[in-house]
Amino acid sequence: MKKTLFTVLVLLLSVTAFAQKISPDNIVGVWKCEEYKIEIFKSGDTYSAKLLWAKDMFEADGKTPKKDEKNPDEKMRNRSRKGITHITGLTFKNGEYIDGKLYSVQDGNTYSLKAVLKTINNLETRGYKGIPMMGKTFQWTRIQ
């Protein structure tokens, strides 16, 4: 029992120490998960990300990027999915990133987005409509 309690306390102190040392700019970089690769960059006082790769980004030839055909703005449906800025407005507050917007090329919808750096190389994001409970979480690993 004492050993378990000690382990829990050490873990809590480690997480707290990381949270206190976090700089908002620690989110900047290239990140990947199973389905996507993005580059997060600072944009004024907020953070945005461009889409570098997605598992369904290319046509059958494997080379030609698909178009943004589900975009609600007809004028943008002919643009390439590759390189679009699809995350905007993430604001750092109290150790997490909040109030972001995520544009999904898969369905043409825009979702709310929040994120937290679990460690310097591990990022968790959650996209949702309405309430976070009704969303999807992605685990990201820094690659650059």
Q: Which parts of the chain have pLDDT scores under 50? A: 4-19
User: Which tokens sit at 100?
Assistant: 């972001």
Return d(Cα 133, Cα 130) in angstroms, integer.
Answer: 9
**DSSP class of residue 95?**
T
Beta-strand runs (E) in the chain = 29-32, 36-43, 46-54, 85-93, 96-103, 110-119, 122-128, 135-142
Give the pLDDT confidence score for residue 1 in this predicted structure.
55
Give the pLDDT confidence score for residue 50 in this predicted structure.
97
User: Which tokens sit at 11?
Assistant: 């873990």
**b vs e for 74-92, b when ≥16 Cβ sit within 10 Å of the residue's Cβ?**
eeeeebebbebebbbbbeb
User: Which tokens sit at 25?
Assistant: 């700019």
CATH topology for 2-142? Lipocalin (2.40.128)
Give the pLDDT confidence score for residue 20 in this predicted structure.
52
Give the pLDDT confidence score for residue 14 in this predicted structure.
44
Decide if 37 contacts 73 (C-beta within 8 A): no
Give the pLDDT confidence score for residue 22 in this predicted structure.
75
